Amino acid sequence: MSSNALATGDLLVILRHAPYGSSWLREGLDAALVAATFGQSVSLLFQSNGVLALTKGQQAGPLGQKGTSATLDMLAMYDIESLYFDLEAGKRFGLTQHDLLLPAAGVDASSIPRLIAGHRLVLTF
């Protein structure tokens, strides 16, 4: 992805955890929604196991944990439309654009520092 297509804004939330097994992903999404509620320009970057949150057809996890697809569906209502995923992580899990629940731009490792630098605040979950 070219540096021209990378978003800039107030907050970049980096999501590195899978949808199940911990509350990190849900907490990161909640932080993004709260920031957007207060008028912040928010971008999301799904890295590592976090790319799994973007997969279609998520079901309840172990012990009845809810999937994150309902929260992801709300992102557009909060004007969170700058979504990115780590291409290398996507390849590791065999994901293509067709497998994603939402339109997210793939970014390679060399573009991630520019994406981070384009935001005033970065939170990692």
Distance from C-alpha of 94 to C-alpha of 64, rounded to nearest angstrom: 26
The residue ranges of every structural domain in the chain are: 3-124
pTM for this prediction:
0.88
Distance from C-alpha of 70 to C-alpha of 85, rounded to nearest angstrom: 19
pLDDT at 50: 96
Q: Which parts of the chain have pLDDT scores under 50?
A: 1-4
* H or E, element range at 121: strand 119-124
List, in order, residues 6 or more apart from 36 with CB less than 8 Å away. Answer: 42, 78, 79, 80
pLDDT at 70: 81
pLDDT at 87: 96
Which strands, in side-by-side order, build the sheet including 42-46?
105-107, 82-86, 42-46, 9-15, 119-124
Check: CATH 3.40.1260.10 for 3-124? Answer: yes
Distance from C-alpha of 65 to C-alpha of 44, rounded to nearest angstrom: 22
pLDDT at 22: 84
